Amino acid sequence: MDHPYFPLLILFTLAGAVVLGLLFVAQKVGPKSPNPVKAEPFESGNPPRGDARIRFSVRFYLVAMLFLIFDLEVVFLYPWAILFRQLGLFGLIEMGIFLGILLIGFVYVWKKGALEWD
């Protein structure tokens, strides 16, 4: 075949076959000794205490989302660092604007108290 994606199709086919083969082998060879003790919930070697479905504060999710947003924004620094010499002064100014906007967002979130755990 002369199609440019043919090797990729072969790779995905082989990967799928390996996954299915390993699942089949694990099902046939794996240990099968169901027991009520094994079916109980396990928390780091300690018996579980209280309800597992406790409500978390919205701040926990807010901090997690802010971390992801700022973490993803920092990823944009890598291509800029690689092409720094080619971009010249224009690239430096553009990255300064980008980091300024990011800093303004960070200060805004900080002043609003979104990073506090109280």
- Nearest-CA neighbor of 116 among 67, 69, 60? 60
Residue showing tokens 């944009």? 76
Q: What would the pLDDT profile of 24-72 be if each residue is shown by its tens digit? A: 999 999 888 888 877 777 667 676 677 767 777 777 888 888 888 888 8
All structural domains of the chain, each given as residue ranges with its CATH number in brackets, are 6-112 (1.20.58.1610)
Residue 115 CA to residue 59 CA, distance in Å, equals 8
Instruction: Supply φ then ψ for residue 15, to 5 degrees.
Output: -65, -45
Residue 92 CA to residue 81 CA, distance in Å, equals 10
User: Taking the complete model, does pTM exceed 0.85, yes or no?
Assistant: no
In sequence order, the 6+-apart residues with CB closer than 8 A to the CB of 31 are none
